[in-house]
Structure 1
Amino acid sequence: MLVNKISKKKVDINKIKKAIYSAKKYHGKQKRETGEFYYSHPLEVAYMISDYLFRTDIIVTSILHNCIEDTILTKEMIIKEFGYKIANQVEDLTRVKNDKKISAVEMVKILYQQKKKDLLLIKLFDRLHNIQTVGAKPSEKGWRTILETLQVFLTVATYLKIPNVTRQLHTHCLNIIANYKKLNLYSNAV
């Protein structure tokens, strides 16, 4: 494959293709608030993270990162298809703990305490893509996402020593806020 010819590091293209197939299959017709098929989100996260960690397990985990919490795919099924390491990483990224959904901030705290930098990186790119797709008129959930990003995820990006991601997160959040203010000024003037 071309990607393995260009890079000195090799990835298992077949395993990545299998993960893409699984994400499409299990997320099925789920849609994002933007109207896009949901599986486009984990693929974008995997694409972004591959510039930083070009490893099969991380790319596959990125592709499957929401499958356990949002689909019928189970840890056992992931073990069977992708092995224990990837299944454990996907489970670690699952926001359902003890039958209760935890916040993204709580998830980040857990990963930080466990010193799981690779998984923190996945959460960081997950958040970056979510911020990139919030839109000009955020929902209540969108505003929470922006606030969490400014309060927590900028610190995560700094901790992981990725200044360009820190800048992107900050810029996207500020642009959304500025555009929203402009929309409100315009609608109040009309």
Structure 2
Amino acid sequence: MEKINYWDNSKYQYCAYAERLLNELISLNEKVKQPIDMYEVKKGIYYAKKYHGSQMRQSGEPYYSHPIEVAYMLAQYTALELPQYFRTDMIVTALLHDTIEDTTLTEKMIAYIFGSQVASQVQDLTRVKPHGKISSAEMVEMLYKEKKHDVLLVKLFDRLHNIRTVSAKSPEKAKKIIEETLRYFIVLAEYLGLPSVSKLIHTYTTINILTDIDLNATNFSYQDNYQPLSLIYQNALHQNYNL
């Protein structure tokens, strides 16, 4: 295992993305019964920035801005709407959700630094599995079957941020993300009892279809009468999934 240096607050380095998250958490902590551990969040930010390093998003922003924004949106929503999921391990998982897949940080290293719960949740959000790489849609179905509600929440907000910034991607990649979002993520949010999240995802998806992306290049057409999931999957979600 790669040597991991001891971490303390003195290693935290300012950045606008992180400060926005930390300030929001300080505010939210005053409104909840079980506040977030700011020390652990700062540590999560540090390792997200350390291991994503110089990676960049197609928008030109540093890649670590993405997991920090996912953590920000997740914190806002859970604190106000689902306080049982306003947890330190959830915020740290959001911060690290792409590290196993996209960096040299491993599940074993995360367990050593943050504990087994965070490590397991980050591993669940990793699309590289022993049998090969799976799609985001396949991941959603897998997490649903395993009833991992908390991890699904992180994945939903990961997709919300990705759809907000999808215009920076190529038309082909944007088309794939939008189609997958319409078929799986919107209906999943509805069946999880998160209509406001579903509405947000739908709004950003529609905005991108209508204004931000030239999808004509890929012959993409938006239809309201799409079949988002198989009927078997829809019925299972409706009958068995209780958040």
Q: Matched residues in 2 for 1:60 and 1:12: separation?
A: 10
Match of 2:72 among 37, 42, 47: 47
Match of 1:25 among 25, 32, 50: 50
Within the candidate set 160, 163, 172, 1:140 is matched to 172
Q: CA RMSD in A?
A: 1.9
Does the aligned pair in 2 maintain the 1:121–1:160 contact within 8 Å? no
Deviates more, 1:156-165 or 1:106-115: 156-165
TM-score, normalization: structure 2? 0.71
Q: List runs of 5+ in structure 1 lacking aligned partners.
A: 185-190
Measured against aligned partners, the alpha-carbon deviations of 1:65-85 in whole angstroms (never above 9, x if no partner) come to: 000000000111101100011
Distance in 1 between residues matched to 2:59 and 2:214, nearest whole Å: 21
Greater displacement, 76-85 / 163-172: 163-172
Secondary structure at the aligned position of 2:61 is classed as coil
**8 Å contact kept, 2:171–2:213:** no
- In 1, are the aligned partners of 2:107 and 2:120 still within 8 Å (CA)? yes
The verdict on how the C-alpha distance between 1:122 and 1:137 changes in structure 2, with shifts beyond 3 A counting, is closer
Aligned partner of 1:94 in structure 2 is: 126
1:119 corresponds to 2:151: yes
Measure the CA separation in 2 of the matches of 1:137 and 1:70.
18
2:213 and 2:140 map into 1 onto residues whose CA distance is 30
Alpha carbons 1:146, 1:173 under 8 Å: kept:
yes
- What is the match of residue 15 of structure 1? 40
Matched, 1:64 2:96: yes
Q: How many residues align?
A: 184
Could you say if the C-alpha distance between residues 106 and 2 of structure 1 is closer, same or farther in structure 2, counting changes exceeding 3 Å? closer
User: CA–CA distance in 2 between the matches of 1:8 and 1:162?
Assistant: 22
Name the counterpart of 2:188. 156
* Matched residue type, 2:210: A
Q: Secondary structure at the match of 1:50?
A: helix
- 2:61 aligns with 36
Residue 10 of structure 1: SS of its match in structure 2? coil
Segments of 5+ residues of structure 2 without an aligned counterpart are 1-24, 79-84, 217-243
CA deviation after TM superposition for structure 1 residue 11, in Å? 1.4
**Are positions 1:177 and 2:209 aligned together?**
yes
1:18 partner letter: K
Shift of 1:60: 0.4
Query: Is 1:80 equivalent to 2:112 in the alignment?
Result: yes
| Aligned mates of 1:151, 1:31 — CA distance in 2 | 28
Q: Is the 8 A contact 1:19 1:60 kept in 2?
A: yes
Residue type matched to 1:39 in 2? Y
Q: 1:79 to 1:136 in 2, by over 3 A?
A: closer
Preserved contact between residue 171 and residue 214 of structure 2 (Cα < 8 Å):
no
Shift of 1:7: 2.8
